A and B are shown apart, each in its own frame.
Chain A
Amino acid sequence: MIRTVDALERMSMSELPAGSSTFRCRRSDEVIVAEWEGLLTLRATATGDLLAFEPARDLPRHRVEKLRDGVAAAFLRSLRGSHSLHAAAVASAGATLICVGRSGAGKSTLAAGLCEQRDVELLSDDIAALELRRGLWHVVPSEASIWLHRRRGAGKAPVRSFRTANRPAAVQFVVHLSFDDTVIEPAVRLMHPIDALGVLMSAMVRFDPGPMIWLRELDLVETLLRQARVFEVVRSHRTPPARVARSVTAQTWGNRR
């Protein structure tokens, strides 16, 4: 009669460009110092004003940009009491579709596939910035490129050929991605609300979790689930990404167009 929905975990850093990284946060006088070991040190006020952004010296420019637009921006937002999802997000005609799932589930790949379609624009690749506007949760454009594996086993690199959104869009759809190599056709089905809640809670980006944060997140997810439909997308590793994107479109924006 009772089952675990999910256990909260500090955000996984495994998708950062340089691989796993230990995150530490401390307060020094009135300054918050956040460190992603070997990657980045960030200094900010307690209210989220940036004081210093210090990436590791040997990081290439595109990796610095990803840190700046991704985890660093999310950290500053968290100091201001705003929330982010570990998710890729795209928008079409003012409606956002968020892709969530474990690392390697194909969030960026689906976002890229969707951005190949007419009228679809990129909002975020890795970290979606949430903002409440007129009672609806919106995703604010935060990242301008999608990082994809160029070949199997190789690290991710940025792909910049997508249209990027220039304004926030209200969240209308969420898709949770997973693989099952026994399925032939991609399956896109509505999730049970409790499962959807677990999926979204797992995707919340957390830097300093605690009771107040968890309660706020619960409020956020509850509101988000009232405005958005959450789908489970299961497909095989063999399914071409463009086919998955078409199946997702058919069940989401396709139903509306």
Chain B
Amino acid sequence: MSGERSVGVDGRVRAAENAHCRHFEDELVLLDLSNGQYFALNALATQVWFALLAGKSPIQIATALETQYDVEHDVLVRDCVAFTNDLLQRGLVVPRIG
């Protein structure tokens, strides 16, 4: 686990090698192949997950989501950073170097 690491609004991550994802209706199931834990991502979290994997930072994702959701920019940024760090701490993503 990478509990001590975190990313900020400009941080970028990639999927960890042990993370296996599978679409399930409009949600996503993430399977951690290192320990067998499963996670379910709802539709919004799935959108953020794929944006992170595409190399977007939390602030870029929040800005893109602003047009789709009636939520204040700061709240979206905070949620995207928190979600990214949640994934990081669970070992499902790792920081993208360079």
| A, B co-complexed | yes
Which residues of B have CB within 8 Å of A7?
A: 35-38
Quick one: which of A1, A214, A215 contacts B41, CB cutoff 8 A?
A: A1
Q: In the assembled complex, which residues on chain B have CB atoms less than 8 Å from the CB atom of A5?
A: 29, 38-40
Within 8 Å of chain B (Cβ to Cβ): is A37? Answer: no
> How many of A's residues come within 8 Å of B, CB to CB?
19
User: A193 interface residue, CB < 8 Å from B?
Assistant: yes
A-B contact count (CB 8 A): 62
Asked if B31 CB lies within 8 Å of chain A CBs, one says yes
Docked Cα-Cα span, A197 to B22, in Å, equals 12
| A198 vs B30: C-alpha distance when bound (angstroms) | 12
Tell me whether A209 is interfacial, beta carbon within 8 Å.
yes
CA distance A177 to B57 in the complex (A): 43
A1 touches B29 (CB 8 A): no
Question: Which single member of A2, A4, A198, A211 contacts B45 (CB below 8 Å)?
Answer: A2
Given A193-B24, A193-B25, A218-B29, residue A201 in contact with residue B86 (CB < 8 A):
no
Binary CB contact string for chain A from 126 to 152 against chain B (1 if under 8 A, 0 otherwise) = 000000000000000000000000000
10 intermolecular pairs with C-beta atoms under 8 Å apart: A1-B44, A2-B39, A2-B41, A5-B39, A6-B37, A6-B38, A7-B38, A197-B40, A211-B33, A222-B24
Measured CB to CB, the residues of B under 8 A from A are: 20, 22, 24-25, 27, 29, 31, 33, 35-42, 44-45, 48, 79, 83, 86-87, 90
